[in-house]
Amino acid sequence: MRIPLTKLARYLRFAIAQTICLLYCCNVLPQNTPAPSTNTRVETKQEDPWWKHMVVYEIYPRSFQDSNGDGVGDINGITSRLDYLRDLGIDAIWICPMYPSPLVDFGYDISDYTAIDPLYGTLADFDHLISEAKKRNIRVIMDYVANHTSDQHPWFKESRSSRTSPKRDWYIWRDGKDRGHPPNNWLSWFGHSAWTLDPATNQYYYHYFYTEQPDLNWRNPQVRKAMYDVMRFWLDRGVAGFRIDAVSRLFEDPNLYDDPILPGKNSYGDPNIEHKYTDNLPEVHEVLREMRHIVDQYPGDPILISEADEPNITELTRMYGNNDEIQLPMDFQIADVNRLSAPEFRRLLDEIDHNPAHGQPFYFFSNHDQPRQWDRYGDGVHNDQIAKLMAALLLTTRATPLLYYGEEIGMRTTPPQRKEDVQDPIGKTGWPEEKGRDGERTPMQWDPSRNAGFSTADHTWLPVPPSSAEYNVVVESHDPHSILSFYKRALALRRSEPALKSGSYVPIDRNNPSVLSFLRKSPGGSDSILVVLNMTGEQRTLTFDLTPYGINQKNSRPLLAAPEMRGDAVSIENLTVQPFGVYIGALH
């Protein structure tokens, strides 16, 4: 039978990738052999949308790469690192805001939605980034801050100018309750009242976040039109979609009922409250459907990702809508587990895997708002091993994974030591209990040189962590046992193994309190992969009988393990996994 050339080429690429991976993982290749090239791409099944198989990499632009020596990262810096990202094996980058901004919230306070802040470069630089990324099969996802603008945005300046301004209703303005008291007890996520009195017109405006971030009024059709035009502006420039900031906060109850007070105080000294009348109002979904309609008008299947720290699986599932809202809601349920617990991860993975919307799960463990996973899950002794465990959890489950820059090299949270060094305003308000988010936003660690290769400036906007001497891309690239080498192999495996790429997720050994184990079964069911993740500091020996799952093998072929395992057959009836160890083996 004649095999068509394209099919043959695809088969050869697949076979080469598998062979390299097998040789590597069984230690047949020398230790210093570089991880297999991730250019060996397996074609996506025709019927699967691209975003089901993508790996997203989040870039905090201030901290990724500085190209002009001012101590702050920029667009040309990102472009200069695209080869690294391609070789790592990622498919899309989500870049945090780079729009003009007074930088009160480091870009999440936008004063012009359709331009680039000169600090980061120009629109021409941005276009160049898009075209260079495209050459490397990398898509660019923008941050879309829909809930609020900067108080320096021309819309707000006009809105606050008088009670009769044509843009007055673009924001939420209300009279105070009594003299000197805000309209109700709503609190800002960043501390204190969510209302600020504007003396010019003697009314309060509402801001879920900082005073300098007034909330847009999404009930106003002109606001919607203006914000949808913003989406079109960037889609026309070739972006692959948006990560929508603070989605669940778009609407507030028009009756302004007080939020229920909960016991205790937060780190700003305010009473705890339930954000009952400002979060997850049903109107949010109407807007999400409209946003989806906009991206659906564009070729290439652009994606909507939502930042939605939903309180439960029901709210999280709602984000998918009827397959007409968000394709990928960020799963904070899983990201917020915050401790290694096999039963807890198992429960949450099961829950989202069976979500009634049949939506694609979207997992992450670190981002620019929460402490990095290296120390959040680390026990202080096995942190590097635990970093590999978390990588395996992220990259082998049935989900679209999101990596935060630097987690692939084991960057750690490095918070400021003194209040006067704090950059993030919430660290200034909440010090010392709340040190802010600087610790997880420090410069990327590229090499052991000055400023870790991030910048040539005398001072970088945040200090480069001392751990950069040991934990950096160059040093780790030469170490086959490094966290980076593990990530590269896991990412390559995800591409080369159909079961990992698009197979089903089948939890096994469901009552095990210490070890999370599951199967991934390829769409046709012919390939199965066993994943075993020991979430404790003690060695564990496991006995698997997989006949109930249609698998009769007693041995598996190691694909990837940490610590590494030698040999080409590993018994699954007597499988020993080291403390926080990872075992991934093929059963076909």
- Which residues make up the interface to ligand NOJ (CB under 6 A)? 105, 108, 145, 209, 245-246, 307, 368-369
Nearest distance in Å: CB 188, ligand NOJ: 10
312 phi, psi to nearest 5 deg: -160, 175
Nearest distance in Å: CB 457, ligand NOJ: 24
Angle in degrees, 0-180, between the axes of helices 483-496 and 5-25, rounded to the nearest 10: 150
CB nearer to ligand NOJ: give 129 or 145.
Answer: 145
CB nearer to ligand NOJ: give 125 or 440.
Answer: 440
Residue 307 a catalytic site member: yes
Distance CA 588, CA 529 (A): 8
Q: In three state form, how does the secondary structure of 73-116 look?
A: CCHHHHHHCHHHHHHHCCCEEEECCCCCCCCCCCCCCCCCCCCC
CB 215 within 8 A of CB 172: yes
Nearest distance in Å: CB 143, ligand NOJ: 8
533 phi, psi to nearest 5 deg: -125, 110
Q: Residue 122: helix, strand or coil by DSSP?
A: coil
CB nearer to ligand NOJ: give 86 or 368.
Answer: 368
CB 69 within 8 A of CB 32: no
CB nearer to ligand NOJ: give 101 or 360.
Answer: 101
Nearest distance in Å: CB 404, ligand NOJ: 11
CB atoms within 10 A of CB 157: 15
CB atoms within 10 A of CB 448: 14
Which residue type is seen at 513?
P
Nearest distance in Å: CB 276, ligand NOJ: 19
Catalytically annotated residue among 307, 310, 407, 497: 307
CB 395 within 8 A of CB 490: yes
CB nearer to ligand NOJ: give 144 or 544.
Answer: 144
Q: Is the dihedral of CA 121, 122, 126, 129 positive or negative?
A: negative
Catalytically annotated residue among 58, 245, 252, 309: 245
Residues in the chain, overall count: 588
Distance CA 226, CA 105 (A): 22
CB nearer to ligand NOJ: give 57 or 209.
Answer: 209
Nearest distance in Å: CB 245, ligand NOJ: 5
Nearest distance in Å: CB 246, ligand NOJ: 5
What six digits make up the tokens of 111? 């004063």
Which residue type is seen at 198?
D
405 phi, psi to nearest 5 deg: -50, 140
What are 215's strand-pairing partners?
A: 148
CB nearer to ligand NOJ: give 103 or 133.
Answer: 103
CB nearer to ligand NOJ: give 214 or 401.
Answer: 214
What six digits make up the tokens of 342? 């096999």
- Tell me which residue has its CB nearest to ligand NOJ: 108
Nearest distance in Å: CB 307, ligand NOJ: 6
Nearest distance in Å: CB 178, ligand NOJ: 30
Distance CA 467, CA 410 (A): 10
Q: Residue 42: helix, strand or coil by DSSP?
A: coil
Angle in degrees, 0-180, between the axes of helices 221-236 and 283-296, rounded to the nearest 10: 30
DSSP string, 441-505: SPPP--SSSGGGGS--SSS-SSPPPGGGGTSSHHHHHT-TTSHHHHHHHHHHHHHH-HHHHH-EE
CB 140 within 8 A of CB 149: no
Residue 245 a catalytic site member: yes
Distance CA 482, CA 486 (A): 6
Chain centroid to Cα 458, Å, comes to 31
- Going from the C-alpha of 9 to that of each of 6, 15, 86, 309, 510, the distances in angstroms are 5, 10, 21, 43, 41
Distance CA 495, CA 342 (A): 26
Instruction: Say which residue the tokens 């209300």 belong to.
Output: 174
Nearest distance in Å: CB 306, ligand NOJ: 11
Residues 6+ apart with CB under 8 A from 50: 44, 91, 139, 301
What six digits make up the tokens of 232? 């079109």
- Going from the C-alpha of 180 to that of each of 50, 160, 183, 315, the distances in angstroms are 54, 19, 10, 36
Query: What single DSSP character describes residue 249?
Result: G
Nearest distance in Å: CB 291, ligand NOJ: 17
Active-site residues, by number, are 245, 307
